Amino acid sequence: MLIQHLETAARLAPVWGFVMIFIFMTIESSFIPFPSEVVMIPAGFLAARGELTFGSPVADAIAAVLVGVAGSLAGAYINYYLARWLGRPFLYRYGKYFFLSPHTLQRAEELFREYGAGITFACRMVPAIRQVISIPAGIAGMPLGIFTFCTGLGAGIWVAILTAVGYVLGMSTAHMSYSDLVHQGEQMVRHNLVWILLGCAVFLAVYIWIHKLVMKSPKTTPTTSAE
């Protein structure tokens, strides 16, 4: 079953690959929780095997990065303009219906006030705050040109890293069929299950630690929706 899904995805990739990259990266960069890793790493993998639109590994990888950045910017613009048009009171009151808790919004504003435009760039590569940092930029009326530059640069670095990971994986297995990949993957999991579980646990622990570190507010008085 998994082999059939992989082969189907590979057949559809030349036509719909870049469209899906753009759509999913737009979703990931907006207020909807969605991991960019599950988009750009497979994109790099398919690019390395020449299975995207251009059929050339290098051209497909470059195009995947550009489309991924375009999707990230599109999602960031959604947050930016929603914040600019709706304002703080609306977001603090109704943000919970869009996966935006008051604490998350407050922390994003604190970071933006403390570090300014630079945090818009840096947070594009930080979990937990990557998407919502566009909101205080919109509330503060950050110039669109500066916002685009900082967001695009940060998103570009993050997208390029993820694509490179998938590209290296794709190049190292380019000689293998999808059937061989699945069978070899199953054997690797069976023989290294303990180490894989340990690695996942370490990754999860680091992610939670970064999340708590970033989201820890130095303030004791919460920001209210009436401000």
Residue 140 lies in a domain: yes
Average pLDDT over residues 179-187: 73
Backbone angles phi, psi at 98, to 5 degrees: -120, 30
Q: Identify which has the larger pLDDT, 214 or 84.
A: 84
pLDDT in tens, 49-68: 888 888 889 999 999 999 99
Q: Residue 27 in contact with residue 34, Cβ under 8 Å?
A: yes
Structural domain harbouring 170: 2-215
Would you give the end-to-end CA distance of the chain in angstroms?
Answer: 54
Distances in Å between the Cα of 42 and the Cα atoms of 15, 22, 92, 165 are 15, 13, 36, 9
**Confidence class of residue 224 from pLDDT cuts 50, 70 and 90?**
very low
Please tell me the predicted confidence (pLDDT) of residue 44. 93
Task: For residue 39, count other CB atoms closer than 10 A to its CB.
Answer: 25
Radius of gyration of the chain (CA): 20
- Distance of alpha carbon 39 from alpha carbon 191, whole angstroms: 27
**Confidence class of residue 225 from pLDDT cuts 50, 70 and 90?**
very low
- Distance of alpha carbon 35 from alpha carbon 63, whole angstroms: 20
Q: How many domains does the chain have?
A: 1
Residue 116 lies in a domain: yes
Residue 60 lies in a domain: yes
Residue 222 lies in a domain: no
- Distance of alpha carbon 206 from alpha carbon 221, whole angstroms: 28
pLDDT in tens, 113-137: 777 778 888 888 776 677 788 888 8
pTM exceeding 0.75: yes
Dihedral of CA atoms 164, 169, 172, 178 in degrees, nearest 10, equals: -140
Residue 198 lies in a domain: yes
Residue with tokens 């489309």: 67
